[in-house]
Amino acid sequence: MIRPRALRTGDRIAIVSPASPFSRDELDAGVAELRQLGYEPVVDDAIFEEHLFSSGTAESRAASFRRAWSDPSIAALVAVRGGYGSVELLPLLADWKPQQAPKLFIGYSDNTSLLSWLTCQCGMTALHGPMLERRLARGEEGYDRASFSTLVAGRGAGFELAPDGLAVVKAGEAAGALYGGTITQLVGSLGTPFAFAPPRDSVLWLEDVNERPYRIARMLTQLRQAGILANARALMFGEMRGCQQDGGPTMDDVLAALARDFDGPVLKGFPSGHTAGPAWTLPLGVRVRLRAGSRPAVVVEESPVE
């Protein structure tokens, strides 16, 4: 995997909006937080455009993304928010090779489309981490500063992630490169030229929000039938916030049934992405060790940046 360089104090970070329009107040608060962390946020006026459900046309969003990535003064890109639209950029980026000038990209939710493309198809590491809206914009109430600051600065090797609420579904221990993101986006990519295709012996990170248990079960069935679960050595699920329902099988029932047929450890409740509390940062594309025992944790074995 190609690793971007680590971030340093004073680095310029481009604010990009590959998906839905955003609140200006949230943008301003997120920019202020990045400055508080010692970085220089850079805002392209193109992100204020709006078209249908997104921040401008696909062509405008793709051009803004490429412009930020190609700027040698920019060290990293962070998304304002998710929503909808990132997948529309992929055909417009297909003939471009961002790995020739690697940068760190940070996002989650709808931006899973870009995270999957960058990690699985371009062979670069990335961060499933806080965006500006509702995360960086809210300071320590919105995101976990320790995991974010440690991973972007190149101090990730050996870093243990053991948040409260992380629980064992199936005990065991396994290691492999971490891939994944929001399940809806991962499943939606299957059958396209940009299909989610993590390598064999990977650790899969899977999370979602406001999807009923039967819909999660259906999407996990699709990942299994596509051969993706069989290639994985371990699974880790997010909080799955809003994925419960009154009556009938629960989200826990869905995960327990999955674990019975899965040959490896399974954890649940990792607070990254759509979490009710501060969102932790996870490194995609690097080796981690998943420990599902008396003290469940994920140990980062390689830094995502250098």
Cα separation of the two ends of the chain: 12
- Name the catalytic one among 207, 239, 301, 302: 207
Backbone angles phi and psi of 272, in degrees to 5: -120, 150
Backbone angles phi and psi of 144, in degrees to 5: -85, 110
The DSSP secondary structure of 151-170, one letter per residue, reads HHTT--TT-EE--TT-EEEE
**Contact yes or no for 2/102 (Cβ under 8 A):** yes
Backbone angles phi and psi of 14, in degrees to 5: -80, 135
Structure-token pair, residue 22: 């955003």
**Is 207 one of the catalytic residues?**
yes
User: From start to end of 183-241, where are the E strands?
Assistant: 202-207, 232-238
**Contact yes or no for 91/84 (Cβ under 8 A):** no
**Is 49 one of the catalytic residues?**
no
Category of 131 on φ-ψ map: left (φ > 0), alpha (ψ -120 to 50) or beta: beta
β partners of residue 138? none
- Name the catalytic one among 109, 113, 116, 303: 109
**Is 274 one of the catalytic residues?**
yes
- Name the catalytic one among 54, 55, 274, 303: 274
**Contact yes or no for 42/17 (Cβ under 8 A):** no
- Tell me which residues are annotated as active site: 109, 207, 274
